[in-house]
Structures are given as C-alpha cells and as structure tokens.
Amino acid sequence: MIRKASNRFNDGRRFEGMVASTAVQYHYRKILRLEKVDPPTRIAGGRIIFLENPFADFTGGWTERGGRSIMLEVKSTSDDKLPIGGKLTDKQIAWLERWHHAGAAVGVLWEAAGAVGFLPIGRIVAVVKSGRRHLKFSEADPVAQGTGMILVDFVLNLRKWYPT
C-alpha cells in the first residue's frame, strides 16, 4: 500500500531528474539515448504560447534495438491514482498510442510516494476504453532499483514489453 503524502511541492522535477540521470548511465553503457524534451513554444506579441506537444517528456533512440524510437511520459503523484485527463492527459495518451503504432517503444514511468512503476500503452488504452478515468498504481509493472548511478532501471520494463 502506498502511503499518502503531500503533493503540494511535488511538480515532478525530482523524479524527472532521476530518469535523466539514469538515461545518462544508459547512454554510457550503450543501451539507449534518451533526452528530456521541452514543450514547443512560440513567442507572439511578447507572450509565450505553448503549442501542442507530439512528444513525451523523454524521447530518444534505443541503441541496443537498432535505434528504435523511445517515448516515455514521466509522472509523479503523492497517492496511488493517476487521473486520466488530469495528470495524464487524453492528448498525451493519444500521442503515445500514435508513436506506438509507428513502431516506437512507449510507456509511462510513474512515481507514486517513492515507488516507481511502468505503464505500457496497451494497459493505459484498455483502462480508457473501460470508461475508468484513473489508473491504479497496482496496475503498473514495478520498476527495479538499479545499481550505481542507474536509479530506476526502467530498461528492464522496455525489454519486457518490446522484446525485439
């Protein structure tokens, strides 16, 4: 059971930093190359306008799979529910599904009160089709703690869901 904690100061940056640090280690080990993606913007009349983002939080190439594209959305919550249409938007799900159908390895890395899970796109889509508007942390595959500077060993989950 995941304990409830305050999400007041949790904007996800700490967990994104853990994923980014792990990605650096994967790059050094020639496993994959993954980079944080900033949302696309346009400046008009001195204002910053955020455009629709077709990319997930992290994108890159999977070196050990011949450069296959990877798209990972990264979420952090204080409890064991991930609201669809809230923290995980319908547009994010649609883009992940599009990238999956184009051949990319996709999913959601989710930290909930210190535990880390992986949600494959098929599981997310099944929940959406069921009419439920949230995912439960118990539906996520556990992500192993890595060794050394690999803080969250999510490549094991990618290998499971995308074996070739």
**Contact predicate 42/51, CB 8 Å:** yes
Burial zone of 129 (CB within 10 Å; 0-12 exposed, 13-18 middle, 19+ buried) = exposed
Return the pLDDT at 7.
45
Place of tokens 């890395």: 109
Burial zone of 125 (CB within 10 Å; 0-12 exposed, 13-18 middle, 19+ buried) = middle
Could you give all domains of the chain from N- to C-terminal order, each with its CATH number?
13-37+54-161 (3.40.1350.10)
Q: What is the pLDDT of residues 111-147, one digit of tens each?
A: 998 899 999 999 999 999 999 999 999 999 999 998 8
Residue 105, helix vs strand vs coil: strand
Q: What is the pLDDT of residues 129-138, one digit of tens each?
A: 999 999 999 9
Task: Report whether pLDDT(109) > 90.
Answer: yes
Give residue 5's pLDDT band: very low, low, confident or very high (50, 70, 90).
very low
Q: What is the pLDDT of residues 38-94, one digit of tens each?
A: 989 999 999 999 888 899 999 999 999 999 999 999 999 999 999 999 899 999 999
